[in-house]
């Protein structure tokens, strides 16, 4: 009885808890899953105002800067409510300890989840968890208004534990279940916004994203697991510059420069150049206005003497762009593009044409119509990735991460962009109603066609007898050009390189989903989702079908 009484008291106190936790200062970094990002986008759609808030993570000062560009006089009653809630969050700071200029805060976020699927032949729709880890303990220290340190230790399941078919909860209770590699969200931030401009820089671990999409960003997605990154931003009302230096692993670095221009309040366009280097850190890639392609770095790194086989080694060039347009109130049209290889006509020689064009793109339309204090919402988004997007001549030069979990003897892979990787075509659509921070309900449909190119390309099975990877068309021919079968290999390599649709036996996935969320208050919420999945050519086996239903439920008490 005492235990029941204690449990009831705890739940009662949680239910009576008032407002959600406030930031400690304006240099605090807001994680990408926070509701404030979607709220600012919704307000921007109502006021036909495009801001530079498509990337996350962002500091409070930068979010305030974009919030102040919105005109509250043009908002609907639904927008007025949302505007007031966003304003309260952004401008009211709070902390457990306030010894100005030093502030300190610590919290406990609890999230209990349950899962079930009717068939082992369908994969889980999530990675690690449905909503969040079992418990998170955010620790934040603010020094004046301009510098913040934060780390979020957590108790949660490992990749191995969460990917098992008999995974029924986010509570780690078996051998190999506990994730010992934490935290994932930790940073130090320096930030400020002034009269008409602002700047910030922060170092974090992983989780930032370029582009606001529904099925992951084809450019750089928050599911990409890295060791660390440094993000620098300079911004005004009409221009933004971002530099990202990412340490993917021990000696794998990714340098990104992004320029974004807003010529009109309803439209923005962005261009990004990147260089991935599998070699020691180099300062030349940090020059903010340098065109990195001029270094011709693909010819410079041959410490292991493999350039004669691979042609290029330890390097990958990257180019991307995006646009965001709001031609009418409550309507958003957006697009993203990414490439790591595109052969010019002059490069399409007999052997040059064996280098595949590696590119991908997304196009989406989003609508949010205010009604009775909330919003009717709908969207459609399509994604395409060519068979060799993110893929180069060998794993060392490709845009992915492989890490090991020695405690669970597990290997975890992640692509830099779309979580579905290369060789895909997908469409997602959804429709629902949302009363922000109160309740929401949504129905959705997702179609994904997936070719055979994926992480399997980097298996040792794709090495020849001399230990070289031969999955790449140019390499496949290069190692066989002096053999009796050179002509046959050339034809196969040419076919692979020029194919811009799905490779091998495509797998077709259809999903119908229903999802809802209810907030008892701003801290206590419950969510549930069910997905019916039908797969044709399951496992890329022609004629094999698989289907099943997945259920997930979550009860969360969230301080921040």
Q: What local confidence, expressed as pLDDT, does residue 45 receive?
A: 96
pLDDT at 8: 45
User: Average pLDDT for residues 543-556, to the nearest whole number?
Assistant: 97
Structure tokens belonging to residue 21:
């936790």
For 128-264, where are the E strands, in sequence order? 135-136, 139-143, 147-151, 154-155, 186-193, 197-204, 209-210, 228-236, 239-249, 252-264
- pLDDT for 100-116, tens place per residue? 999 999 999 999 999 99
Q: What is the pLDDT of residue 9?
A: 44
* Helix and strand totals (H; E) in the chain: 8, 28
Residue 219 pLDDT greater than 90, yes or no? yes
**pLDDT tens, position by position, 38-59:** 999 999 999 999 999 888 899 9
Burial class (CB in 10 A: 0-12, 13-18, 19+), 363: middle
Q: Please tell me the distance from the alpha carbon of residue 285 to that of residue 287, in angstroms, as a whole number.
A: 6
- What is the torsional sign of CA 470, 451, 223, 242? positive
Q: What is the pTM of this model?
A: 0.93
- pLDDT value of residue 20: 44
Q: Supply the mean pLDDT for the chain.
A: 92
- The tens digit of pLDDT for each residue in 481-532 reads 999 999 999 999 999 999 999 999 999 999 999 999 999 987 899 999 999 9
| pLDDT number for residue 15 | 39
Using pLDDT thresholds of 50, 70 and 90, give the confidence band for residue 560. Answer: low
What is the spatial distance between Cα 19 and Cα 71, in angstroms, rounded to a whole number?
25
Mean pLDDT computed over 158-162: 91
Of 258, 167, 146, 278, which Cα lies nearest the Cα of 208?
258
Q: Give the model's confidence band at 409: pLDDT under 50 very low, under 70 low, under 90 confident, else very high.
A: confident
* Mean pLDDT value of segment 349-353: 93
3-state secondary structure 283-321: HHHHCCCCCHHHHCHHHCCCCCCCHHHHCCCCEEEEEEE
Residue 340 has pLDDT above 70, yes or no: yes
CA distance 296 to 31: 36
Q: For residue 169, what are the contacts with CB-CB under 8 A and spacing of at least 6?
A: 112, 113, 114, 115
Rounded average pLDDT over 350-379: 97
State the Cα–Cα distance between residues 436 and 48, nearest whole angstrom. 20
Two tokens, residue 496: 């692979």
b/e string for 473-483 if b means 16 or more Cβ within 10 A? bbbbbbbbeee
Q: Output the pLDDT for position 10.
A: 43
């Amino acid at each position: 009885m005492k235990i029941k009484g204690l449990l009831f008291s705890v739940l009662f106190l949680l239910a009576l808890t008032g407002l959600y936790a406030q930031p400690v200062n304006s240099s605090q970094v807001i994680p990408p899953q926070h509701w404030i990002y979607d709220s600012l986008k919704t307000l921007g759609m109502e006021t036909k105002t495009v801001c530079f808030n498509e990337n996350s993570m962002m500091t409070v000062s930068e979010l305030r800067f974009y919030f102040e560009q919105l005109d509250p006089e043009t908002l609907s009653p639904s927008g007025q409510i949302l505007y007031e809630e966003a304003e309260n969050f952004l401008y009211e700071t709070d902390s457990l300890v306030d010894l100005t200029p030093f502030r300190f805060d610590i919290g406990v976020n609890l999230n209990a989840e349950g899962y079930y699927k009717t068939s082992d032949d369908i994969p889980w729709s999530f990675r690690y968890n449905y909503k969040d880890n079992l418990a998170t303990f955010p620790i934040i220290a603010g020094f004046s208004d301009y510098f913040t340190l934060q780390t979020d230790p957590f108790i949660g399941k490992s990749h191995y534990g969460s990917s098992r078919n008999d995974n029924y909860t986010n509570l780690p209770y078996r051998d190999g279940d506990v994730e010992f590699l934490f935290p994932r969200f930790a940073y130090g931030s320096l930030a400020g916004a002034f009269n008409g401009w602002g700047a910030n820089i922060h170092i974090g671990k992983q989780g930032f994203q370029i582009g606001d999409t529904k099925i992951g960003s084809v450019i750089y997605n928050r599911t990409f697991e890295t060791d660390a990154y440094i993000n620098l931003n300079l911004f005004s009302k009409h221009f933004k510059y971002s530099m990202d230096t990412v340490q993917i692993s021990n000696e794998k670095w990714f340098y990104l420069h992004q320029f974004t221009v807003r010529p009109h309040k309803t439209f923005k366009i962005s261009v990004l150049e990147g260089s991935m280097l599998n070699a020691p850190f180099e300062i030349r890639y940090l020059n903010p206005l340098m065109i990195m392609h001029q270094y011709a770095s693909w010819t410079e790194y041959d410490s292991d003497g493999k350039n004669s086989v691979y042609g290029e080694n330890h390097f990958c060039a990257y180019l991307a762009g995006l646009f965001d347009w709001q031609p009418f109130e409550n309507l958003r049209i957006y697009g993203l593009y990414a490439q790591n290889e595109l052969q010019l006509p002059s490069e399409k020689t007999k052997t040059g044409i064996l280098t595949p064009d590696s590119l991908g793109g997304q196009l989406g339309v989003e609508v949010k119509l205010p009604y009775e204090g909330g919003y009717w919402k709908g969207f459609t988004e399509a994604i395409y990735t060519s068979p060799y997007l993110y893929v180069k001549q060998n794993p060392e030069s490709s845009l992915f991460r492989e890490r090991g979990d020695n405690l669970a003897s597990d290997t975890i892979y992640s692509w830099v962009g779309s979580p579905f990787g290369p060789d895909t075509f997908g469409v997602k659509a959804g429709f629902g109603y949302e009363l922000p921070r109160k309740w929401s309900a949504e129905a959705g449909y997702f179609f994904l066609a997936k070719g055979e190119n994926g992480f399997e390309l980097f298996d040792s099975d794709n090495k020849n007898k001399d230990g070289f990877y031969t999955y790449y068309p140019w390499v496949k021919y290069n190692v066989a050009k002096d053999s009796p079968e050179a002509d046959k290999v050339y034809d196969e390599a040419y076919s692979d390189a020029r194919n811009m649709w799905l490779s091998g036996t495509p797998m077709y996935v259809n999903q119908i989903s229903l999802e809802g969320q209810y907030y008892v208050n701003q801290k206590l919420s419950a969510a549930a989702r069910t997905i019916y999945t039908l797969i044709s050519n399951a496992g890329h086996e022609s004629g094999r079908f698989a289907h099943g239903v997945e259920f997930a439920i979550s009860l969360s008490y969230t301080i921040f």
